[in-house]
A and B are shown apart, each in its own frame.
Chain A
Amino acid sequence: MYNRQVWEATPADTPVHNLDVRTKLVLLAAIVLFAVGLEEPRPLFLVFLLSLGFHVVARSSVERWKILIIFLLVGIWGAMLSQALFYNQEPRTMIACLVSPTVPWIGEATGGIFVYREGLEHGAVQALRSGIMLACGLLICWTTDPRQLLQCFLHWKMPYPIAFMLITSLRFLPVIFEETAIVLTAQRLRGFEPMRTLSPLRWVRTAFYVLFPILARALRRAATLALSVESRGFGRCGQRAGLTAWPVVERFACLMVFAGIATGATLKMLYVLQFNGLAYFPELRGVYDFMAVWL
């Protein structure tokens, strides 16, 4: 049967688990910024490998690797396929023809369906970006106590209702996955086979059938959790114990990472100015070469 614990944060004694929650969030933000800023596949691939390396360090279980791989493969496949088929920038190089423009109906209506090399490359970049974010996001969910995340968000002055909603959704997401599986099973037990049809109307109805019990349960659960934490003195007001001291080494590392990102952003700006012929500094030629290849 479905094992919801695969989705829930579990404690362990690994360097990733032991990182301060603030360090994890800062590094996540830095990696996301870095991934968004990068356009070259090679460095993106290295960052992607690094994000997978964190999972190795965190000793993610086999089940979690399976989930990660499925998500990554689906993401990579989806992004590359869609970009390869629908890439509309120029120049573009056709490497395969799936449907000729002369094919009645589809070919005539679409002007032909082709696979473009530039689309594949662009799709790979997009896939790597989303893969990096997914891998790092899941790593935080699987290795961080939701209570610590909540405290961290509040410490950083995030409004209480937003922080609580965010964490509650994170806390209940595995439960909702589990209950969705149970509801589908329950429907099958009552003779309803929603998946054995191609009728979109029936799929819509199935969605409602699944949503009703899941939402009702989720609302009840969220209300109980809210009352429970309020009853334990956690609320919109009141003095709260601060987070544990942010280790100096980790704080310094975060500063260094952000300094690196700021440097990278500055260099990229200089490169863009040079590329567009707006400003050129001969002494930065080596930097321009490095930027052209790596960033």
Chain B
Amino acid sequence: MTGIVECKNLFFTYKTRSIPSIANINLTIEAGDFILCTGPTGCGKSTLLKAFNGLIPHEISGTLRGSVLVDGVDSLHSSVAELSRTVGLMFQNPDDQIFSTTVADEVGFALENMGMEREAIRVRVSETLGWVGLAGREQGSVHALSGGERQRLALAAVLAVRPKMLALDEPISQMDPRGAMELLQVLQKLNQELGITLIIVEHRLHEVMPLCKHVLVMENGGISWQGKRQEAFRSPRVFLDMGLRIPQPVHICHGLGVVSQSASIEDAVHDIRKAYPKCDAAVRVPVKTIPVPTENIAIEIQGLDFRYDPRGQKILDGIHLTVPRGQFVALMGNNGAGKSTLLHHICGLQQAQAGKVIVDGQVVKSLDRRVGMVMQNPDLMLFNSTVEEEITFGLHHGGRNAPDHGEWRTLLARIGLTGMEDRFPLALSQGQRVRVAIAALLAYKPDIMLLDEPTTGQDLGHIDDIIALLQEYTASGGTVIFCTHDTEVAARYAERVVVMTAGRIVADAPPRDVFSDETILHLAGLRAPAALRVSHELYGGCALCVEEVVQYVQQASLGSNAG
């Protein structure tokens, strides 16, 4: 059978490298398929996508062996412009690809390059915007769109030429859960209703896997596993061994030795009940309440208000928060909720317009050296020429209790970067760059650490490494506040979850309380971790992680949970 894309014995080696980034790829993508392509960082996923629309070899220098047939045409004998009419390619960050100032101009750009008539472009642009949920926004400014809307605009810009296939490179990796869900719903609709073939490279398997038809796993440039989605659910070990995060219902089933058929909670509960009929004895786990701390306070925020524009909306609205020393706090909420602005106030980057921020008993009036902050984009925090210089930077610039020689090496080992001391930090992978930024700050030994989305783009193993490092820091008296959209990470690791929406704190409680409260979750655009929902359906529980559900069910089946 002929597919839309056929790769035969495909190898590609970048000009600057000695070993191929993709090796011996034999792959046929059928029309109408929806493929999730995943694998560890640097395994060749993005390189493979670029071969589908001719960027490799026409625009990216290197050596290509084998062939890529796109709709029956050898990519070597066709231009990128022609191949792009069959395969549209979309990149991770919409801000790096949006080129115009108005929505209509951005979507019409590809059509103009095709030489289409103006009136036909206008009609096509409107129709395409309708597909991605941006109908009527033609004349709007691209700057007025939210992050999720900009990503859908980037999708529309590719979709406008009506490609038979869309290749998407980590389209949801930087998005909040609501934006990601909106984009995935659009993609599913395009696949189901318009028959557009999709291939998505993504690390957030737990969100994409339930929607796709096939899964492709790459490792060291080659395809190490491929199969239908249902087969992937039955083979979780493939993903877990690579540190990839699978949907929690599948993970729970795997932990209980139950063969999973889907990622849905209902199916998982049904399958587990069949295998463990005794597990429905409802025992409510007692909820810990957080007492309001009165001593040993690290951060105290009183009635904090802030707005960027004096006539605009409040970004922070009457924030009251007290955090004792040694606490590990997750700050959650959708984009624009005010999380980053709150962190900026705590470290003194921004000053309170009303109310005050007190750190270790002193009102914050300017940048506070007792507080360290890792920004969302690690690239902008790395400015030395080697990893070693980056981590020991604090030693030479007045670091507070900066580490000695041995200490920084231990730190390096803890983040899995031993042997990379002499590497240029900005040439490392995204995950490695985040870890270097965190280690560089930990080396500085601040009293309080603020982290903005530290787990974005990290696989499971590295999330564990980062959290272990931070937990060790809190155990030694440090205080951590981290912003995250990832409810699974917050539920599993945080002692306390603070939820913000529209500049206000709407919940401040232990994760078990927050994630059991549907009203709060709905208000903040969050979803409870699947493990909690499985435990709720299965035994009326509110487990926070996979291991908790597995342990409970196993003990219940042995009768040890009774009474």
Chain A interface residues toward B at CB < 8 A: 1, 3, 5, 8-11, 145-148, 151, 171, 175, 179, 182-183, 185-192, 208-210, 212-213, 216-217, 220-221, 224-235, 237-241, 244
Contacts and interface: CB of A to CB of B under 8 A. Distances in A.
Contacts of B161: 232-233
Contacts of B379: 213, 216-217
Given A212-B385, A232-B157, A233-B84, A190 B394 contact: yes
Interface centre among B101, B117, B344 (most CB of A within 10 A): B101
A98 B382 CA distance: 46
A192 B367 CA distance: 12
Interface centre among A188, A190, A230, A241 (most CB of B within 10 A): A190
Contacts of A188: 367
Interface string B65-95: 0000000000000011110110011010101
B178 interface: no
B115 A187 contact: no
A231 to B, nearest CB: 4
Contacts of A171: 99
B55 A240 contact: no
Contact of A190 (B100, B377, B397): B397
A103 B188 CA distance: 81
Given A186-B375, A191-B444, A235-B81, A227 B344 contact: no
A182 B378 CA distance: 11
Interface string B316-360: 000000000000000000000000000010010110000000000
Interface residues of B, number: 69
B434 to A, nearest CB: 13
Nearest to B441: A190
Contacts of A189: 347, 349, 367, 372-373, 375, 381, 441
Contact of A191 (B79, B111, B398): B398
Contact of B393 (A190, A230, A237): A190
Contacts of A224: 91, 93, 96-97
A238 B81 contact: yes
Contact of A240 (B60, B115, B400): B115
Contacts of A147: 99-100, 105-106, 109
A179 B380 contact: yes
A11 B158 contact: no
Given A147-B109, A186-B380, A231-B53, A212 B426 contact: yes
Nearest to B366: A188
Contacts of B118: 241, 244
Contacts of B393: 190-192
Contact of A192 (B85, B105, B350, B397): B397
A228 B109 CA distance: 11
